[in-house]
Structure 1
């Protein structure tokens, strides 16, 4: 089942306004449990986690910045 443009736009806002801050807090908490790792490891972990959050939501964000394809012209 494909999401409509309007639904994808709404879900993208929910993900960015609620999900992203929660994910950032979770990532920082996990890194704090590591008891201040070396700088290069910390940067590497943040880079990997920064990419990983977007992969499951790729289909939601695809085409959101463009005009509604279903809108009548």
Structure 2
């Protein structure tokens, strides 16, 4: 993980935007590999796991940015 200052909302938003772009890049790469004549399923699997890890990190940051609502 980068040495970003996660205490400021701006830093969290910047990191979140970076992670969302990385997630989209992995998605595009996975789709391109899947369309190849002989897709490398091991590589696709690794990319999918990395994409899932990014999704988890995105959710964690979104939770940090969203205030808890007490009903």
Task: State the TM-score, normalized to the length of structure 1.
Answer: 0.45
Q: Which has the higher contact order (CA 8 A, sep 6+)?
A: 1
For the pair shown, the structure with the greater C-alpha radius of gyration is 1
Structure 2 length-normalised TM: 0.46
